[in-house]
Each structure stands twice: as C-alpha cells, then as structure tokens.
Amino acid sequence: MSKDIALLDDLLTRMLAAGLIDLDIETDGRRIRMRLGNGSALSDAGEPVAVLSSGIGQFRAAHPRRPGSSISLGDTVQAGATLGYLQSGPTLLAIAAPMAGTMTEILATDGDTVGFGDRVFMIKGRS
Amino acid sequence: MMEILSATPLATIQDTGRHGFYHDGVGRSGAMDGLALALGNGLLGNEANAAAIEVPLLPFIVRFETDLDVALTGADCVARLDDVTLPPDWAFSVSAGQTLTLSALREGCRAYLCVAGGIDVPEILGSRSTQLREAFGGHDGRMLARGDRLKAIWARVGLPGGGLGASAAAAALPLGEPGQTVVRVMPGSEYDRFTPESQSSFWTSDWRVTPQSNRNGYRLAGSALTMRDSSELRSHGVVPGVIQVPGGGQPIIQLADAATMGGYPKIGTVIEADHWRLAQAAPGATIRFVETDVAGARAAQAQLDAFIADVRAMAARQRGAAERWS
C-alpha cells in the first residue's frame, strides 16, 4: 500500500515537473490514470512537498567533482535545479527540484542507499 | 540546429581522429581528451566516433534552435542552461530557445559539448575532425566563430528527467596524488643517448606546461636535458604522445595536431591511455613522467576501455528506464 502511494506520489511529482494535467500509463500489468483538477493542491497549500528518488542507488549530497557543494536547509532552490545525486555504478542521476522553493528537510545522508520513490528532500513552495 | 553566440578562438569540431593517412602526411587530429569525448558519446548512446565541439577557452555560448539532448564533459566549468546550473560530466535535455553558457573553469582546461547522434558535418577521409593546418574537415576546416550554425544528427535519446552523469574519470582512474598530472611514458628510441643525469631528472623533475602549448603539442619547461653526443638525426615518423627534445633541452610532447614527421631526438612516448590527462593540464600546471612498458601501456588501455564500457552500459540502462516512463 505504501509502495502504491509512493508510486502515485512520484507520478504526481513527474506530472507537475513536466506540466502534464492528464496521465495514462501501464506499469507492472496495471493501468493508472491521473488527471489534475483546476488549481493543483501543491502550489496553494504552502505545505512542504516531498522530492522523491527516481531510481535506486547511493545518495550523494554533492557531485563527486564538486565536494562541499551540497545543498543546505533554508537554501532557495530553482525549479529543475539539482538538489542531490543518485550514484549507480559509474553513472549519476539527478534528484531535481520539481518546483521553486525553500529546502525545509534533508532526509538522506551521503552514502545512504535509497530506493525508487523514497523521500529525499522536503521543499516548500514560494507562494 | 544551434547557433554559436560567442566562441573564443580555438573551438573546433573533433571526433576520434583521422586514422590511416600518415603516408599522405595527414596527421591524426581528433579530440585532445578522447576520454571526455567517449564519456559524452556514451551517456548519449552515440557511436563512439560521433563528432563533438572541443572548447579550450571560455566563454562559450550557444543557443539551441530545436529540442536536443546534449552532454557536457571534460573540464569542469561553470555551466548554465538559461539560469539553471549544470553539474560536470552531464547529459541533459535542452528545449528550442534555450541558451547554454560555459564560463569560468574550475578544473581542467578543455570542455566537450557532445550532441545526440554527433555534429552533422561531412566525413572527409573517414573523419569529421577539423584538420586545422590543412584547413579541411569539421566546420569548413576552421575554428568555430560567432554566428556559425551547427546541426545534430539526432534530437532526443531518452534521457532521465533530471539528466544523466558519469562519475569522475580522475577518481575512477587514479594516477599520482589528487590534483597532480602524472602520465606514463615508454622510453623512446634516443633515450639511451641522454646523459644518466638527464635520464634521471626526466623521471624525477616537475615539468611545467608553458603557454606555448596547444593542439600541436605542449612545450615544457624544467631542468634542461642533455645528450652524450649531438650527432644529427634524420627526420622520422612522429605520433601523438612522442616527447622530443630539441637543442635547448626543453621537451615538447607532440599531440593531436602534430606533424607526421620530425627530426628531434625522442626521449619517450606518453602512452595513449594517458593523453586525456595531458589534455586537461593547463599552461602553468606541472606534469610528472613515470616509466612503463608495452605491457603496462596495454593494461592501462584495457582499464580505460573498461571504464568507458561501464559508463556506456549503465547509461543505456538508465536511458531505457527513463524511456519506459516517458
């Protein structure tokens, strides 16, 4: 059940990041359809929003070539900005901000193994 | 399609080089940092010899006129897509109308902008590299300039949303202390004609990269190397990596755009697997030489090839996972 919520949460984050209002996918033999209503809850509520891991790997707070460049609590982030990294073998994925806002929580420590859909950061929108 | 809004001199289009025309006096050319080219092409799933833009001096600004996936590798520089900061060794998606700006260098000295499928310029003598001295290949056989418009062969390659990066080459392939440039060298055909003191100082000295260094070769400064005899040599073949010592005793490392022949004594050759380290050593940096042999050179090449293959394979998996979500 919590996995399903994480999946839906992730889909919602992706829809918002991509500006989609209607989503229809098939995954693991299931079909999921999501449609956003007018005025998404995210931007109105002002509640912190979870930034989720988009894959499985080791959390890296800073890019290996830029040690000391990790994000801190209270930092202002731009939409699309890289907040942290997910290392998988010799490749890195970005954990990107789905919207502009302020960093309110950092839920992973450098080197932690994180899974698909895990909450890594909480950011609060600017509205 | 993309337009160069600002380019300092010396930005050129390069692939893995033009091979097999030494007998016509046509040198290799190709990317100085072949590893950066390989990683960029690997992240994008391009062919290994897809052409990219080699940017040795900043700033470099390009505006994209169409949607395109690109990768920025090599030197770590301050890079922004519009106003979003980009990590180094990174593949990312750009939309029509966006501008990529490369400004201050943080580490290294040559950045590579790889594009989906490679830069679409004609193949001449089996390569898209710019042959600067002979003025053919690449974009009209010359350096890129403001207003030039270039086309990519593909557009999208299915990158994950936030982009896709390669881990740091220097950490994956360590040699010497962090931040130090060490390259492996095989003794050359005239090595035995240098004095024992010079042979010793060749391996133990710090060699400074002088400002007289470019794609043709690097002129180094350090304690002068002397020969036991100074008999004349005939001209002989020269390949990228050969270290020649002219009369003044200050070595020259011949590189991507080296002439195919030369008459200076050869004290050694930097193995090909370490050329990428030289490519990122800026004027003012110091270089150390450590001795190796054919077996050592082969092992180093195998290690380099394995790292590139790892990045390419894992990047393909990450793009595949992203594709299923698009």
Cα separation, B60 vs B305, in Å, equals 30
Cα separation, B247 vs B264, in Å, equals 8
ipTM of the complex: 0.90
Residue A44's pLDDT band (cuts 50, 70, 90): very low
Residue range A51-79, pLDDT digits in tens: 999 888 999 999 999 988 899 999 999 88
Bin B126: left if φ > 0, else alpha if -120 < ψ < 50, else beta: left
**Chosen from A91, A92, A99, A116 to mutate, greatest number of chain B CBs within 10 A:** A91
Tokens 């003794």 sit at which residue?
B187
Taking an 8 Å cut-off on Cβ atoms, the answer to whether A96 and B166 are in contact is no
Mean pLDDT of chain A: 83
Burial of B21 (0-12, 13-18, 19+ CB in 10 A): middle
- Chain A residues with CB under 8 Å of B325 CB are 14, 25
Q: What is the pLDDT along chain B (326 residues), one digit of tens a residue?
A: 999 999 888 999 999 999 999 999 999 999 999 999 999 999 999 999 999 999 998 999 999 999 999 999 999 999 999 998 999 999 999 999 999 999 999 999 999 999 999 999 999 999 999 999 999 999 999 999 999 999 999 999 999 988 999 999 999 999 998 888 999 999 999 999 999 999 999 999 999 999 999 999 999 999 999 999 877 789 999 999 999 999 999 999 999 999 999 999 999 999 999 999 999 999 999 999 999 999 999 999 999 999 999 999 999 999 988 776 55
Taking an 8 Å cut-off on Cβ atoms, the answer to whether A94 and B165 are in contact is yes
- pTM here is 0.89
Residues within 8 A of B (CB atoms), A 6-25 only: 14, 17-18, 25
pLDDT of residue A122: 96
